[in-house]
Amino acid sequence: MDLKVSSKSQFRVLRELILISTFYFCGMIFFYLKVEFGLFKILFLSTFVFYLIGFFLPVYILHANYLKNSHNILKVEENWADINGSITPGNDIEKVKIFATYQHFDGLVGVTALPYNDYYYYVELHLKEGKIIRMTSLLDYKLDKILQKHFKDVVFIEVVTPFPMIPNSK
């Protein structure tokens, strides 16, 4: 199975933000047309701050972080993976850590979820030789399921984090 960070894969993880943005800006256009300009300015600027802090910035930060740190291409088959031209058999993998929000593991999002909660997460492949390989959901938003399917004998550890940003790798 070939996975790649492409426009399509990025669109999939961004879809909720795109949906919210569309809804929000359509609402603002409605207000622009239907209320006095002074009121529109209040509504737009105050809600824009909310939109920026609550929706746009968290997704943007994670997206930029993942773009920088993610492996762009991954080929994964039954019990082996080709990561950037290097074949890694399942036996060489000590464990796989999945860093995601509680809602991602729970399978439910609900009231308190932000647009990144569902789809933004990353995984760490801990090799027996001590090397750590990081991959993100930009490859595919079902990356964790795909890995679990192909590496049935490997231990998967779920790590709950409210904001799954990849730390400094240096």
Partner 1 sequence: MTRSLSAHDIDMNPPDKLITQILENTPLSASDVEKISYIYNSANQRSSMFYGGLQDDKMQRAARRHYSIDGSMEINHNVLTGAVEFLTYIGGDAYTAPLVLKSNGTSQEYLRLFRDYQGTILGIANSSDVLLEKRLFDAWGNIISVTDGQGNKMAGLTVLDRGYTGHEHLESVGLIHMNGRLYDSRLHRFLQPDNNIQNINDTQNFNRYSYVLNNPLRYVDPSGETSQDCLECGGQSHGNDFQIGFGGSIHSLIMNWDEMGVKDWSNQNWDSFKKDWKSGTGYMSDQLKSANGWIDKNLRSLGKDLKKFFGKSDPETRKLSLRQFSDFQATNGWQNQGFQSGCLGVESNGQQELNIGYKKLNLDDLKGNFKVGINLSKSLEFIQAMDQVSGGKNKFLGKFGKFGGYLTSGLEITYNGVELYQGEISGYRFGYRTGGVIASFVVGAEVGGTFGGPYGFVAGAIVGGGFAVTESAFDIWLEQFTHSMNHFYNNMNLSISIYH
Given the rule CB under 8 A, which residues bind partner 1? 20, 24, 34-39, 41-43, 45-47, 49-50, 53-54, 60, 64-65, 67-68, 101-103, 106-114, 117, 160-163, 168, 170
Q: How far is the CB of 92 from partner 1 (least distance, A)?
A: 29
Q: How far is the CB of 135 from partner 1 (least distance, A)?
A: 17
Backbone angles phi, psi at 13, to 5 degrees: -75, -20
Tokens 């399921």: give the residue: 145
What is the rounded CA–CA span in Å between residue 148 and residue 137? 14
Q: Are strands 93-100 and 155-160 parallel, antiparallel or unpaired?
A: parallel
What is the rounded CA–CA span in Å between residue 3 and residue 76? 8
Q: How far is the CB of 85 from partner 1 (least distance, A)?
A: 22
